[in-house]
Structure 1
């Protein structure tokens, strides 16, 4: 049965120049677990950062973090001595491991982005940062992230895949199947119909038993699709990903 996570359920731990809508994927399970994660998919922070904002240098431990930008440019600096602007189509994966520090600045227009937190499969792994340039308006699915050893351009130290698609209004899109993994489909922007459900911005759907059916985009839409090993071993020691409520 299709289950929907509604936008009204999300908290906003930060408001103002740095506004975060904190999506807890496990809430879609409707209290079947005390954890707010969806397997090792821990948190999706849907952030809006205003021009002039600086998120000062801070540490992450045992978080696997994908930065996915929809609009604007964030200026990244980190403890690996890397510094560069990150814009739409430029993916950044921070595998924090034992310790990783970073800072973000918004010098130009407002930034809308996702920071996606995954629990790694072990504690205190070596830190790593990865980058990949992808198409910005792919109508069909593009595999962005996969487990180590997969064909994905970026890896996460977990049995999780992350894809995106940008269907135009009226387009139908099939949902792929990853055997043994459970889908979690998030609408970053726009609106879709799944069977008789309307799913809008900051909402998500899953089906724990069968593959998701095709979707129809009601308007131009940005979708982020996760496939998650719900029984994966994972570290609970992450700075953010280790949060349970």
Structure 2
């Protein structure tokens, strides 16, 4: 199966200091057909004005991933972590039994753009955790977050993984799929064709029950996120 979610079909929010596009139902945006996919619950495409941000708020039992597209995030949480997350880095905060945090645009002059991603865990009420790392810009599929933290990846509390996909113009790639797993691809930059569908930046696609899958980049380089998820 596959289902495309076009960028212009996403929900949205505009609070002056924040412009956001929601792939799945979130906040005041409710779409009963888009409540998440497998363990993937949230993909928000956020643009935060200079000096603004999310004041201290709390989460529980959620794996919260931030990926900075441009700018820097100033992070502070109740576990004592106070970090700056620059463009290109991935952050994973495991909320566990409960954590409070704030996320602000570290710049007083430029906008911050980042993806906020939530994955439902399969372990509950544990100690909160914080991880952060830059995985570079290697061409191909690079694992970023896994269930066991293999090969220097960040470790999440779910039978899932997140990889960064980078392709050169016109490049083909065979993506790893099995029939008993679900997959989601979110396109950040470029044009990508798979399952007979051509995706543009901001588009996403739900995939499941596939024995093989090939993706082809268009005339520009491609950057995307690839989620390997429990079957649906």
TM range (shorter): 0.7 to 0.9
Does the 8 A contact of 1:159 with 1:228 survive in 2? yes
Which whole-Å deviations, capped at 9, do the CAs of 1:145-186 have from their partners, x for residues lacking one?
Answer: 111364451111111110012223222232123673222111
Q: Is the 8 A contact 1:194 1:216 kept in 2?
A: no
Instruction: Work out whether residues 149 and 156 of structure 2, in 8 Å CA contact, stay in contact via their aligned partners in 1.
Output: no
Map 1:1-245 → 2, pairs under 5 A: 1-24=1-24, 36-108=35-107, 109-135=110-136, 137-148=137-148, 150-151=150-151, 153-177=153-177, 180-210=180-210, 211-230=212-231
Structure 2 distance, partners of 1:190, 1:16, is 28
* 1:228 to partner: Cα distance: 0.5
Moved more, 140-149 or 58-67: 140-149
The runs of 5 or more residues in structure 2 that have no matched partner are: 26-30
How well do the aligned residues superpose, as a CA RMSD in angstroms? 2.3
Q: What SS class does the counterpart of residue 166 from structure 1 fall into?
A: strand
What's the secondary structure of 2:214's corresponding residue?
coil
1:174–1:9 distance in 2 versus 1, CA, 3 Å: same
Whether the aligned pair in 1 keeps the contact of 2:187 and 2:199 (CA below 8 Å) is yes
Structure 1 residues 35, 199: CA separation in 2 closer, same or farther (over 3 Å shift)?
A: closer
- Which 4+ stretches in 1 moved above 6 angstroms? none
Could you tell me which runs of 5 or more consecutive residues in structure 1 were left unpaired when the two chains were aligned.
26-30, 232-245
Q: Which has the higher strand share?
A: 2
